[in-house]
Structure 1
Amino acid sequence: MTKKPPILWLNLAIFISTFAVAVIGVPWYGLQHGFSTASMVIAAVFWLWSGMSITAGYHRLWSHKAWQAHPSVQWLLAIGGAMAMQNSILHWCADHRVHHKHVDDNDKDPYSAGRGFWFSHIGWMLRNYQPTPDYKNVRDLQKNAIVMNQHNHYGWWVLGTNIGAPLLLGALFGDALGTLLLAGFLRLVVVHHSTFFINSLAHIWGSQPYSDQHSSRDNGVIALLTYGEGYHNFHHTFEYDYRNGIRWWHFDPTKWLIRALEKCGLASSLRRVPAGRIEAARLSMQLKSSQRLLAEHQLAAEWLHKLELEYEQLLHKMQGYYDEKQRQLQLKRAELDRSARERLAELRDAFELQQRQWHALRAQAHAVLN
Structure 2
Amino acid sequence: MKKPAIIWLNVTIFVVTFLVAAIGVPYRAYTHGFDAMEMSFALICFIYCGMSITAGYHRLWSHKTYQAHWSLRLLFALGGAFALQNSILHWSSDHRVHHKHVDNNDKDPYSAKMGFWYSHIGWMCREYQAHRYSDYNNARDLQKDAIVMWQHKHYILLSLVMNFGVPIAFGLWHGNLINSLLLVGFLRLVLSHHTTFFINSLAHIWGKQTYTDKNTARDNGFLAFLTFGEGYHNFHHIFENDYRNGIRWWQFDPTKWLIKSCQWLGLTSKLRTSPEDKIEKMRLAMMLKRSQKKLINHPDAEKLRLKLQQEYDALIVKINAFYQVRKALLQAKKEQVINDVENSELLAQYNEVKQKLVEQRRCWQLITANLV
TM-score band w.r.t. shorter chain = over 0.9
2:350 aligns with: 344
2:227 corresponds to 1:221: no
Distance in 2, matches of 1:106 and 1:36, equals: 46
2:157 aligns with: 156
Q: Which shows bigger deviation, 312-321 or 22-31?
A: 22-31
Write out per-residue CA displacement over residues 98-141 of structure 1, whole angstroms, 9 at most, x where no aligned residue. Answer: 00000011111010000100100000000011112221100100
User: Conserved in 2, the CA contact under 8 Å of 1:84 and 1:191?
Assistant: yes
Letter in 2 for 1:44: L
User: Conserved in 2, the CA contact under 8 Å of 1:36 and 1:175?
Assistant: no
Distance in 2, matches of 1:310 and 1:90, equals: 47
User: Conserved in 2, the CA contact under 8 Å of 1:104 and 1:113?
Assistant: yes
1:20 aligns with: 19
Structure 1, unmatched stretches of 5+, are none
Distance in 2, matches of 1:211 and 1:113, equals: 16
Distance in 2, matches of 1:182 and 1:345, equals: 57
Letter in 2 for 1:325: R
Distance in 1, matches of 2:90 and 2:14, equals: 19
2:307 aligns with: 306
1:268 aligns with: 269
Letter in 2 for 1:67: Y
Write out per-residue CA displacement over residues 303-359 of structure 1, whole angstroms, 9 at most, x where no aligned residue. Answer: 121111111110010111112222222333554342333322222111111011011
Of 356, 359, 362, the residue aligned with 1:356 is 362
Distance in 1, matches of 2:177 and 2:64, equals: 38
Cα offset, 1:27, TM superposition: 1.7
Q: Which shows bigger deviation, 81-90 or 29-38?
A: 29-38
1:43 aligns with: 42
Cα offset, 1:36, TM superposition: 3.3
Distance in 1, matches of 2:350 and 2:157, equals: 57
Letter in 2 for 1:164: G
Distance in 2, matches of 1:28 and 1:109, equals: 40
What is the root-mean-square deviation of aligned Cα atoms in Å? 1.3
Cα offset, 1:177, TM superposition: 2.1
User: Conserved in 2, the CA contact under 8 Å of 1:39 and 1:175?
Assistant: no
1:76 aligns with: 75
Write out per-residue CA displacement over residues 225-284 of structure 1, whole angstroms, 9 at most, x where no aligned residue. Answer: 111111111000111100000100000000000010011111001110010000000111
Distance in 2, matches of 1:31 and 1:363, equals: 52
Write out per-residue CA displacement over residues 280-308 of structure 1, whole angstroms, 9 at most, x where no aligned residue. Answer: 00111111112222233452221121111
3-state SS in 1 of match to 2:50: helix
User: Conserved in 2, the CA contact under 8 Å of 1:90 and 1:135?
Assistant: yes
1:165 aligns with: 166
2:183 aligns with: 182
Distance in 2, matches of 1:20 and 1:362, equals: 50
3-state SS in 2 of match to 1:272: coil
Q: Which shows bigger deviation, 290-299 or 106-115?
A: 290-299
Letter in 1 for 2:368: R
> Could you state the TM-score of these two structures normalised by the residue count of structure 2?
0.95
Structure 2, unmatched stretches of 5+, are none
Distance in 1, matches of 2:327 and 2:6, equals: 53
Distance in 2, matches of 1:30 and 1:290, equals: 52
Letter in 2 for 1:182: L
Q: Once the two structures are aligned, what percentage of the paired residues are identical?
A: 55
2:296 aligns with: 295
3-state SS in 2 of match to 1:229: coil
3-state SS in 2 of match to 1:331: helix
Distance in 2, matches of 1:82 and 1:323, equals: 46
1:119 aligns with: 118
Distance in 2, matches of 1:41 and 1:141, equals: 34
2:99 corresponds to 1:94: no
3-state SS in 2 of match to 1:330: helix
Q: Which shows bigger deviation, 203-212 or 24-33?
A: 24-33
Cα offset, 1:38, TM superposition: 2.7
1:328 aligns with: 329
Distance in 2, matches of 1:305 and 1:318, equals: 20
Distance in 2, matches of 1:329 and 1:135, equals: 42
1:231 aligns with: 232
Letter in 2 for 1:254: T
Distance in 1, matches of 2:162 and 2:37, equals: 17
Distance in 2, matches of 1:30 and 1:363, equals: 51
Letter in 2 for 1:236: H
2:279 aligns with: 278
1:205 aligns with: 206
